[in-house]
Structure 1
Amino acid sequence: MLSLPNILTLSRIFAVPILVALLWHPGWLGYILAFLLYCVAGVTDYLDGYLARAQGAVSRLGVFLDPIADKIMVAAVIVMLISTEQALGGHPVVAGWHVMAALVILLREIAVSGLREFLAGVSVSVPVSRLAKWKTAFQMVALGALILAGATPHAPWVHIVGLACLWGAAALTLVTGWDYLRIGLRHMD
Structure 2
Amino acid sequence: MGEEEDAVSLDQNSSGGGEDSSLRRNRHSSPLPPHLSSKVLTLPTVLTLGRVAAVPILVATFYVDCWWGRTATTSIFIAAAITDWLDGYIARKMRLGSAFGAFLDPVADKLMVAATLILLCTKPMDAIVLGPVPWLVTVPSIAIIGREITMSAVREWAASQNGKLSQAVAVNSLGKWKTATQMIALTILLASRDSSFERLLPSGIGLLYVSAGLSVWSLVVYMRQIMRVLLKKK
TM-score in terms of structure 2 length: 0.72
Tell me if 1:167 matches 2:215: no
| Runs of 5+ consecutive residues of structure 2 not aligned to the other structure | 1-39
Match of 1:129 in 2: 172
Match of 1:64 in 2: 103
Q: CA RMSD in A?
A: 2.3
Task: Note closer, same or farther for the CA distance 1:131–1:158 as it changes in structure 2 (3 Å cut).
Answer: same
Tell me if 1:111 matches 2:150: yes
Q: Deviations over 1:14-58 (max 9, x none)?
A: 100100111134433211100011111111000000000001111
Deviation at 1:85, TM superposition (A): 5.8
Match of 1:176 in 2: 218
| Larger radius of gyration between Structure 1 and Structure 2 | 2
- The aligned runs of 1:18-33 (5 Å cut-off) are 18-33=57-72
Deviation at 1:102, TM superposition (A): 1.4
CA distance in 1, matches of 2:218, 2:143: 12
Q: Deviations over 1:73-128 (max 9, x none)?
A: 01000000010367xx9x87x83244211111010011111111111111442321
Task: Note closer, same or farther for the CA distance 1:85–1:176 as it changes in structure 2 (3 Å cut).
Answer: closer
CA distance in 2, matches of 1:13, 1:163: 25
Match of 1:16 in 2: 55
Contact 1:115/1:184 (<8 A) preserved: no
CA distance in 2, matches of 1:33, 1:85: 20
CA distance in 2, matches of 1:99, 1:166: 11
Contact 1:23/1:84 (<8 A) preserved: no
Contact 1:28/1:151 (<8 A) preserved: yes
Letter in 1 for 2:56: P
Where 2:74 maps in the other structure, the secondary structure is: helix
Where 1:150 maps in the other structure, the secondary structure is: coil
Contact 1:146/1:162 (<8 A) preserved: yes
CA distance in 2, matches of 1:42, 1:61: 20
Match of 1:149 in 2: 192
CA distance in 2, matches of 1:10, 1:104: 26
| Runs of 5+ consecutive residues of structure 1 not aligned to the other structure | none
Match of 1:95 in 2: 134
Q: Deviations over 1:58-84 (max 9, x none)?
A: 111111011111101010000000103
Where 1:2 maps in the other structure, the secondary structure is: coil
Identity of aligned residues (%): 38
Task: Note closer, same or farther for the CA distance 1:56–1:164 as it changes in structure 2 (3 Å cut).
Answer: same
Match of 1:51 in 2: 90
Letter in 1 for 2:216: L
Match of 2:113 in 1: 74
